[in-house]
Amino acid sequence: MRGMTLLMVAAWLLVSACGGASTPVEHGGAGHGAVHWAYTGEGAPEHWGELSEEFATCGTGQAQSPIDIVGAAGTDLPALVFHYQPAPLSLINNGHAIEQEFPEGSTLESSGRTYTLKQFHVHGPSEHTLNGQSFPMEMHFVHRAEDGSLAVVGLWIREGAENAALEGFFANMPTAEARTAEPEGLTLDPATILPADRTYARYSGSLTTPPCTEGVAWHMLQQPIEASAEQLARFAALYSGTNRPVQPLHERALELDNTP
């Protein structure tokens, strides 16, 4: 039963990709599968908008992600409040990224709204840049509100000390063939992954993978976390170049929290 559920989740994630929690691309299998988006070749990011009508926003959207976090206007943003709970280690390799799935119980409060943590996944190198600087990896904590709207908390990972909170993740990442990993007895506490400094920049953006749906509330934590060179290399051996290039800001506001 559990295996069956996981398979279904994996199949669903395969079509819903980066913002896995969203529903815009959740439709019947008929007709799907003809389009293969990727990070290189014919399915590369510059072609995403032409691969399918459903992906048109990737090419025409004016509020796309990721972006370069630069020149943010300083302001007092409300603190992000994390109510994160430990969860069983439950990893999926969806063909584009490695994801950790979360059961109900972990939530995020942002600007008076409550979102439920659905999953996190990782990109390498980073998708968002900081004043033009790239990082070896970027984590996306994907949350969904009751009305379906999405909030993502993004976290840069730089090379440094070994990351104990993420060691179970790095040590058990499934290959694309294995698809899933649920090692018995291992848990992961998302609260311990977050940096002490929760200063963030926010803007309204999109999923960074097709269908590039907009209306995603982005929160980029400004203090990178660290992982060892060995941990980063383990991920790079599975995935590299899984970052969409930065997109134009256009008319959007980019706000940086000034609150001490």
- The answer to whether the beta carbons of residues 221 and 201 sit under 8 Å apart is no
CA distance 139 to 132: 18
Q: Is 96 a catalytic residue?
A: yes
Which tokens sit at 150?
A: 């999405």
The one catalytic residue among 96, 123, 128, 219: 96
Smallest distance from Zn ion to CB 121, Å: 6
Smallest distance from Zn ion to CB 75, Å: 26
Which tokens sit at 227?
A: 């992982």
Smallest distance from Zn ion to CB 94, Å: 11
Angle at the Cα of 25 (from 191 to 247), degrees rounded to 5? 70
Q: Which helix (H) or strand (E) holds 17?
A: none
Closer CB to Zn ion, residue 14 or residue 186? 14
Locus of tokens 């559920």: 5
Footprint of Zn ion (CB under 5 A)? 18, 140, 208
CA distance 231 to 162: 7
Smallest distance from Zn ion to CB 134, Å: 15
Which tokens sit at 260?
A: 């001490």
DSSP 103-125: -TT-EEEETTEEEEEEEEEEESS
Locus of tokens 């940096």: 195
3-class secondary-structure state, position 160 = coil
Active site residues: 96
